[in-house]
Amino acid sequence: MSSSSVSSILKDLSAAGTAFDNKEPGSREALIERSRALVATLEVPSEFMQRSFWAEPAMSAILRLGVDVKLFQHLKDAGSDGLGAAALSDKTGVQLALLQRLARHLVAMYVITYHDGAFRATALSNGLAEDNYQHSISFCYDAARPSFNGFPEFFKRTEYKSPTLGGLDGPFQSAHNTQLPFFDWLVATPPYLEHFDSFMSAYRAGKPNWYDPGFYPVAERMITGFDNTVSDVLLVDVGGGRGHDLALFAAQHSSHPGRIILQDREPVIAAVMADEKPFDAQAHNFFTPQPVRGARAYSLHSILHDWGDEEGVRILQNLVPALERGYSRVLLNEIVVSEEKPALAASTMDMMMLAHFAVRERTEAEWRDILAKAGLKIVRIYQYPGAAESLIEAELA
């Protein structure tokens, strides 16, 4: 290891710590990233192997076991008093000797603490006790992890070639012995659809939205210049699910001009229509021509990363005839993978997409290519400190 490298990282950590104290955006993520860099610089190979192949897999397995025995809920309910090993054994039904060993490892991994004869919850373990994170642990361990465990054998069998983009011959199908696409398998294998939905809600929690201050300049790029003689629609959220993004957008920009419209498949929209919402809801399949013409902006949040290039081009091409040249914008809230310094959140999601959908997160060059094939060009890519996703603003080429 290089002492100069360690010194440089420590200086970065000090600067990030000051920024964190000043509540600067991205400072928390910078602290985590630099801390990982410090560990990677200091660890010798044997320690790296022990952490990667013993400590972290064991922790994941204990977390999954903890879901079944409500380990974190019991510690949360105990509050600051905590629970002695015998009491925690009684509540979870885990044999005392085994409980002590499992919980001790979670202490070593900083998930829970132990002092004055009792195991105690932490802010992290209390978060993990919530239903959406309990479901997320089950999804990640039961549904996602087998796909990663199968990488060596799967890619050896395919002679180390990428699976067909968007095909049904990927690591997920191999791991779960199914010919079903990922989402169809979730539906056919309860309770994993519910667990995946919880996982996605947990994944997005606390992350900046593209319309937040300091991310994409909504007032400058969308509201200024809005022309209701072109269309009375400000924003169309294409494939926007139940409208989470649009509801938050409307709350943040309550004085926005024009209408905002949510689009998704008919069953999704039918469920949304029953609720009072600050937007219009419209059934639309994004593989068909866009029916709303001349809107100021069309947003697609994490839509194209679910699809291969051919399908992605088709989705974008269905937008093109609806765009007003020099006025309409296409806003893609997606990961843009850095080739020189990929963020862990970006590379991890790329591995998720490879394992479960046989697709990929794209680099800037790949985004420019897919947009060009659809007749669009990038105006600018907006980034927010510490955020994995960017906002790609595009218009007619």
Give the start-end residues of each E strand in the chain: 113-115, 118-120, 233-238, 259-264, 280-283, 297-301, 329-337, 362-363, 376-382, 389-396
Map residue 333 onto helix, strand or coil: strand
The pairing of beta strand 376-382 with beta strand 389-396: antiparallel
What is the rounded CA–CA span in Å between residue 337 and residue 2?
A: 28
Q: Which has the closest alpha carbon to 355: 56, 59, 143?
A: 143
Map residue 282 onto helix, strand or coil: strand
Classify 59 in phi/psi space as left (phi over 0), alpha (psi -120 to 50) or beta: alpha
Residues 6+ apart with CB under 8 A from 343: 33, 388
Q: Look up 361 and say whether it is catalytic.
A: yes
Q: Look up 29 and say whether it is catalytic.
A: no
Of 195, 305, 356, 393, the active-site residue reads: 305
What is the rounded CA–CA span in Å between residue 49 and residue 261?
A: 51
Of 29, 33, 361, 393, the active-site residue reads: 361
Of 33, 334, 389, 393, the active-site residue reads: 334
Q: Look up 395 and say whether it is catalytic.
A: no
Residues 6+ apart with CB under 8 A from 216: 210, 331, 382, 391, 393
What is the rounded CA–CA span in Å between residue 178 and residue 25?
A: 43
* Active-site annotation, residues: 305, 334, 361
